[in-house]
Amino acid sequence: MFHKEGYKIILITLVLVIAMSLAADYFIVNNYLRSTIMLLAIVMLVLVLQFFRNPKRNINTSEDHVVSPVDGKVVVIEEVFEKEFFNEKRLQVSVFMSPINVHVTRYPVAGQVVFSKYHPGKFLVAWHPKSSEENERTTVVVNSKNFGDVLHRQIAGALARRIVNYAEKGQQVTQGSDSGFIKFGSRVDVFLPIGTKLDVKLNDVVKGGSSILASI
């Protein structure tokens, strides 16, 4: 199963792979070179298919916990001053996605979207300290029953060249449902109230919609 954001790119890649293979078969006499080109074309298609995969996921829904919005590795846990929406200290948990991770972004909590904004910006590597403020990004805040306002921020990385955000202010959303998609590697930050009990630690590997980041 593939995500809808990948349909166009998958189709274009498939056409290119077929064209490359046919051209190699017709124009290239050297068997080794022809086979190499065909193999590279197939590898390119497999990589694109893997990137846009959207496997069925058992969503871990509960008002008593916050789930990871994406697949990846926990790379930041720290108290920071969040100045775009809260203007106060928050507990930040950041999950880094490599190009081989599933790149669907999911809502970490259920509730009403009270803020959704896109910011154009740079494409610094996702782990750069300034990436959360200077890179292309989207900020979404959902007001939940037990955690209050929970902010998650999609951040483009050096390879990411498009962030898709489905959240609209006023919308009622369910935990684990699609919030957006980041194409070709990046990270997502989650901002929670100070004192929130975390269920993860640095370098933990998490899965979007099923791994619990925090709980009451």
pLDDT over 90 for what percent of the chain?
Answer: 61
> Who has greater pLDDT, 163 or 214?
214
What percent of the residues of the chain are helix, what percent strand, and what percent coil, each to the nearest 5? 25, 40, 40
| Domain 65-215 annotated CATH 2.70.70.10 | yes
Residues 119-140 pLDDT 10s: 987 656 555 555 566 678 899 9
What would the mean pLDDT of 61-67 be, rounded to a whole number? 97
> Who has greater pLDDT, 47 or 179?
179
| Tokens 């989207």 belong to residue | 138
Q: Which residues contact 148 (CB under 8 A, 6 or more apart)?
A: 193
Q: How confident is the model at residue 163 (pLDDT cuts 50, 70, 90)?
A: confident
What would the mean pLDDT of 149-160 be, rounded to a whole number? 82
Q: How confident is the model at residue 170 (pLDDT cuts 50, 70, 90)?
A: very high
Measured between alpha carbons, how far is 147 from 34 in angstroms, rounded to an integer? Answer: 58
Active-site pick, 116, 186, 211, 215: 186
Measured between alpha carbons, how far is 202 from 14 in angstroms, rounded to an integer? Answer: 39
Quote the distance between the C-alpha of residue 8 and its chain's center. 19
| Tokens 């007001």 belong to residue | 143
Residues 7-16 pLDDT 10s: 888 899 999 9
Q: Lowest-pLDDT range, 33-47, 141-155, 196-210?
A: 33-47
pTM for the full model? Answer: 0.83
Measured between alpha carbons, how far is 187 from 157 in angstroms, rounded to an integer? Answer: 7
Residues 21-36 pLDDT 10s: 999 888 888 999 999 9
DSSP 5: G
205: helix, strand or coil: strand
Measured between alpha carbons, how far is 163 from 5 in angstroms, rounded to an integer? Answer: 10
Looking at residue 185, what is its pLDDT?
62
Burial of residue 30, with CB atoms counted within 10 A of its CB: 0-12 exposed, 13-18 middle, 19 or more buried: exposed
Residues 83-106 pLDDT 10s: 999 999 999 999 998 878 888 999
Q: How confident is the model at residue 184 (pLDDT cuts 50, 70, 90)?
A: low
pLDDT of 159 higher than 90: no
What would the mean pLDDT of 158-172 be, rounded to a whole number? 83
Check: CB of residue 66 under 8 Å from CB of residue 212: yes
Please count the residues of the chain. Answer: 216
- Is 186 in the active site? yes
